[in-house]
Amino acid sequence: MIQMTDQAIAAVKNFIASEGRPGSGLRIAVVGGGCSGFQYDLTLVDKAADNDETYTFGDLPIYVDQNSLLYLKGTVVDYVNDLRGSGFVFQNPNATSSCGCGHSFEAACEH
């Protein structure tokens, strides 16, 4: 349901190494907020929560809670590093619009 590019996987692994947290995974969540209604929340965690779906990319676990999964179905997570800066980019087919900063979005999801 969620895809990670090689660049995104490498960025997460580098961050885990720089934080000294081997064995950690990344939780991706959709939370209320931002100028468009929803925003992405990325957190390093040591294990899945009870309501998480787990996706594995090589040896990197990605955790997504059931509610967030409704908004993230089919999303591709990428990591870019260009003249405008670096960071994660979400190609979310459920987003009906996004704000100028690219960190929040409106979404239509299938419940």
Structural domain boundaries of the chain?
Answer: 3-107
pLDDT digits (tens, 9 = 90+) for 10-24: 999 999 999 999 999
> 41: closest CA among 65, 20, 23?
65
**Domain 3-107 belongs to what topology?**
Hypothetical Protein Aq_1857; Chain: A; (2.60.300)
Higher pLDDT, 28 or 84: 28
Q: pTM for this one?
A: 0.82
> 92: closest CA among 71, 65, 61?
71
